Amino acid sequence: MARPVDIDMGLGAGLGLKAEHFEDAVGTHADGLWFEVHPENYLVDGGPRLAWLDTVRERHPLSLHGVSLSLAGDAPPNTAHLQRLAALARRVQPALVSEHLAWSRLGPHHAPDLLPFPRTHAALQGIAGNIAQMQDTLQCRVAIENPSHYLQLAGHDWDEVDFLHELVRRTGCGLLVDVNNVFVSARNMGFDPRTWLDRIDGRAVMELHLAGHRADPLLGDGLLIDSHDAPVAEPVWALYDRLVARIGPRPVLIERDDALPPFADLMAERERAQAAFTPALPEAA
């Protein structure tokens, strides 16, 4: 059983750490600012990349956001990978660790994506075991993220929110709610994103993600893609505000991986998310 930890509320709104913005990241100080990285890029034996991460860590809290552990795979997490991840976590002492409710590995092969699966009873049992193994190895509570959905799959025994809640109940893990993924999935699968978010148990939510998306070049708005190459869309901000109004603020990340704007533009988006941490002044009677 993983050791439950309280969410570090010193974390406000953070940014994904990009090599292009290294100097800015090191030199910028702001209330609640933190940075998130994909640990896969830092699972190296040494060298400038790791030194760079150490430098950022000296100045800011870090979050390790895994993208390749394949928790929903048909096999347990790769032990060597998990050990490397644990070594990185010991080195940078992350404020948050997260992974996705998805799979990306089959046998010896890996696909750089977050693949979907039918949420069956058997899948639940396997994933719960994999999360427990991850938490035991890393000795911390892990936040599990809802991915974006693009396919109607048959054979679900569970809907997504119930599935996530059951994983929390069985493993003590937390949740990383990606609000943009909920919006994208809702559009693609045909459900109301507000209903999805309204059902999420706020006590389990350790982190939120906000990102930009775009319409499929061929299919338009009928198929939205979680592209991380645009500013956060207004409907996603509205969902963020609605969720935070209900459960209170959580460490929140502006995810931007492509078509990088100047650092100042990302900081401006981040300020908007950070505003949730500033209690509104009571209105004059």
Partner 1 sequence: MTPARLPDPGAAVPATFQQRFWHDLWAAPTADADTPWARQPGFAVYRNTVLKGCIDALVAQYPAVHRLIGDDALRALARDHTRAHPPTDGRQHVYGAHLPDHLAATRPADGSLDWLPDVARLDRLWTECHVAADAPVLDAATLLSRDPEALAHTHLVPHPAARWRWCAAWPAFDLWSAARDGRADPNPPRWCGQGALLTRPHGAVDAVEIGAGAVAFLDACAARLPFPAALASAQATDPALDLGATLALLLGHGAFSETVDEHPDPPSGTLAVA
Binding site for partner 1 (CB under 8 A): 40-41, 43-51, 67-70, 72-74, 81, 103-106, 108-113, 115-118, 120, 122-123, 126, 149-156, 159-160, 188-191, 196, 216, 218-219, 222-223, 225
Strands 214-216 and 220-225: antiparallel
Nearer to partner 1, 45 or 234 (CB): 45
Q: What is the longest distance spanned by two Cα atoms in the chain?
A: 66
Min dist CB 264 to partner 1, Å, is 26
Nearer to partner 1, 225 or 275 (CB): 225
**Residue 155: φ, ψ to 5°:** 90, 10
Nearer to partner 1, 103 or 240 (CB): 103
Nearer to partner 1, 45 or 283 (CB): 45
Min dist CB 126 to partner 1, Å, is 6
Q: Give the three-class secondary structure for 41.
A: helix
Measured at the CA of 212, the angle between CA 206 and CA 216, to 5 degrees, comes to 130
Min dist CB 60 to partner 1, Å, is 21
Min dist CB 76 to partner 1, Å, is 13
Measured at the CA of 117, the angle between CA 96 and CA 237, to 5 degrees, comes to 50
Nearer to partner 1, 116 or 172 (CB): 116
Task: Say how far apart CA 157 and CA 168 lie, in whole Å.
Answer: 17
Min dist CB 145 to partner 1, Å, is 16
| Torsion, CA 185, CA 189, CA 195, CA 201, rounded to 10 | -50
Min dist CB 120 to partner 1, Å, is 6
Nearer to partner 1, 152 or 278 (CB): 152
Min dist CB 200 to partner 1, Å, is 14
215 DSSP β-pair partners: 224
Q: Tokens 């956060």 appear where?
A: 232
Nearer to partner 1, 136 or 216 (CB): 216
**Residue 267: φ, ψ to 5°:** -65, -35
Contact between residue 274 and residue 208 where contact means Cβ atoms under 8 Å apart: no
Output DSSP code: residue 123: H
Task: Say how far apart CA 99 and CA 207 lie, in whole Å.
Answer: 11
Contact between residue 127 and residue 71 where contact means Cβ atoms under 8 Å apart: yes
Nearer to partner 1, 2 or 127 (CB): 127
Q: Tokens 């892990």 appear where?
A: 142
Distance from the Cα of residue 259 to its chain's centroid: 20
